[in-house]
Amino acid sequence: MNKWLIIALVGLLLFTNGNKAKRKNWAIASGSARSAIAGNDVETLHATSLQEKSEPTPARTRTRHTVSATVAKLENIQVKEGDRVKIGQVLVDNPDERKFLETKRRELELAIATNQPVPIPPSPPIADYSAEVAAVESARAMLASLNQTPLPEYRFRTEELIEVMDRDIIRERQALALERVRSEQVLNQAIANLQTAKSDYQQRLSDYQSKVMEVQRENAERELLQAKFRRDLAELQLNFSNTGATLSPYSGRVRQVKVLGQSESGLKVEITLLVSER
């Protein structure tokens, strides 16, 4: 009985070991097969990776661009966040302010054109006293001639006889004396005329010099005013360029519209664009 039990146990052990060996060989074979498949997959993935590296796909990037502008009121902003814009599209416009500045610019240009220096008036002609001098010389000559003309002599010595017998001589002497007086008056008038002519010329010279000084003073004031007009025009032209329409330099999307603050010319605005680039 024990002999047969021992034989049965030995046979069972042999059978069990044989099945284990078969399962081990099958596992080894299966592992080899899976290794081969895995190796093929690795080679396939490696080949795919190499192909992807050899043919890269361009990536799309987005760049931010900031546009600064000045507006008189927020209604002048023509875009809002999220809007799609094209290159050259109006972002900010100030039509009312631009019209006002254009009118002011024309007024300043007209003021500059009309506020020109006044020319210096011509000086008075050189004085000519030839006529007055000639009259004086003629009167002197006449007076000298009359003074050299002797008075006619009386024929009688007593006054009674002279008054009775030399009446013609008395009239001649009176006439000559009267001519001398008149000649002196003519000479005095000629001298007075010469002095008046000289005084008049001196007055004209003084008036001319005063006029020149007045014109020079007015021209100096005009130059100061002209400089102010030109400064105002330059400042206005700068404001005009800042107040004009602001165009988009790129095509893209409005990411942000931001008010930076208040300035003398208006509200400072900053518009950020997202621009797609390859």
Class of residue 112 by CB neighbours under 10 A (exposed 0-12, middle 13-18, buried 19+): middle
Residue 93 CB neighbour total at 10 angstroms? 19
Cβ atoms 151, 171 nearer than 8 A: no
pLDDT value of residue 28: 41
Cα–Cα dist 260/269, whole Å: 6
Cβ atoms 266, 243 nearer than 8 A: yes
Cα–Cα dist 102/51, whole Å: 65
pLDDT value of residue 208: 95
pLDDT value of residue 150: 83
Q: How confident is the prediction along the chain (278 residues), in pLDDT tens digits per residue? A: 445 555 555 555 555 544 444 444 434 434 443 443 334 443 433 444 434 444 455 556 779 899 988 887 888 889 999 999 999 898 888 888 878 888 999 999 999 999 999 999 999 899 999 999 999 999 999 989 888 888 777 777 777 776 767 787 878 888 888 889 999 999 999 999 999 999 999 999 999 999 999 999 999 999 999 999 999 999 888 777 666 678 889 999 999 999 988 877 788 889 999 998 65
pLDDT value of residue 230: 94
Alpha helices in the chain (DSSP H): 2-54, 95-114, 130-148, 159-165, 167-243
CA distances from 181 to 136, 153, 169 (A): 15, 20, 18
What is this structure's pTM?
0.48
pLDDT value of residue 59: 54
Compute the Cα dihedral for 26, 27, 31, 37 and give only its sign. Answer: positive
CATH class given for the domain over 61-94+244-277: mainly beta
**Nearest Cα residue to 181 out of 150, 147, 149:** 147
Tokens of 222: 């005009």
**Nearest Cα residue to 143 out of 188, 193, 191, 187:** 187
pLDDT value of residue 199: 95
According to DSSP, residue 29 is labeled H
